[in-house]
Amino acid sequence: MDLPTLKVERLYRQISNVLINCINTGQFAPGAMIPSERDLAKQLGVSRSSIREALIALEITGWVEIRTGTGVYVNDPLPQATPAAPVMTSEEEFSLQSLVRARQIYESMTAELAALNGTDDQRAKLKEIADELNGLNANNDAFLEADRRFHLMISEMTGNEVLHDMMGYLWDKRRSRRFMRLESHYTEVDFAREMNADHQGILDAILAKDGAGAKARMSRHLQHVYDQLFAE
């Protein structure tokens, strides 16, 4: 007997497909505003952050339009797809919440190691990057590039090339379409300034060779990122 292979589908994809079905069956008409994140979360028995991930996926695939401060509207016309069509490509199936949590765990460790193992030249380079970041107060391409170099420099300071490569992998995930769209909709205008305040604290702990302090500062920094993107 040939049986189908069962797949464990990410929660945000399950939610997306439920909402697509609601659109295709006319419960949410083209051009209409769909229920709020809070109402959807209550009806589906999931967190608002999972609803938010699903809505970002639906916006990217053309099912809805997110109007910041107004609501989420069904697109008109609808994309040409069926209810069973995949919401995202396989390489983008990871949960954005899981990505930030993974970075929080991983980078807390690399910050601690950087404080203990970094060379004087590397500390000087990290300070140089942090100074550049402090001059950038908008969450634009220039800020993101400097931010990337800051975090990669910390991973390089661990003295372990595999940890450095892994940071590059995580950063590439952070540049996914879904993450960038989520960030554009749900971060505040002073997001870059808040991130720079965190960066300064991380830098200070690393320059002081305070491993525990660097670990705590990095964990707090990525908690701030999580709270900005997924505040309930």
How far is CA 143 from each of CA 133, 195, 231, rounded to the nearest angstrom? 7, 10, 23
Mean pLDDT (whole number) for 69-74: 92
147-177 pLDDT, tens digit per residue, is 999 999 999 999 999 999 999 999 999 888 8
Q: Are residues 29 and 69 in the same domain?
A: yes
Q: Are residues 26 and 74 in the same domain?
A: yes
Element (H, E) at 73: strand 71-74
In contact, 25 and 40? CB cutoff 8 Å: no
Report the amino acid identity of residue 171.
W
Q: Are residues 20 and 116 in the same domain?
A: no
**Rounded Cα distance, 147 and 195, in Å:** 9
* Residue 5 resides in a domain: no
Tell me: pLDDT of 115 over 70.
yes
Q: Are residues 81 and 145 in the same domain?
A: no
* Residue 168 resides in a domain: yes
**Do you find a cis peptide bond into 77, omega within 30 degrees of 0?**
yes
Tell me: pLDDT of 232 over 90.
no
CA pseudo-torsion sign 154, 198, 130, 115: negative
Q: Are residues 190 and 116 in the same domain?
A: yes
Tell me: pLDDT of 4 over 70.
no
| pTM (2 d.p.) | 0.83
What is the number of domains present in the chain?
A: 2
**Rounded Cα distance, 216 and 51, in Å:** 30
* Domain-ending residue, one of 71, 91, 111: 91
Q: Are residues 135 and 190 in the same domain?
A: yes
Distance from CA of residue 159 to its chain's centroid? 27
Q: Are residues 82 and 104 in the same domain?
A: no
pLDDT tier at 187, thresholds 50, 70, 90: confident
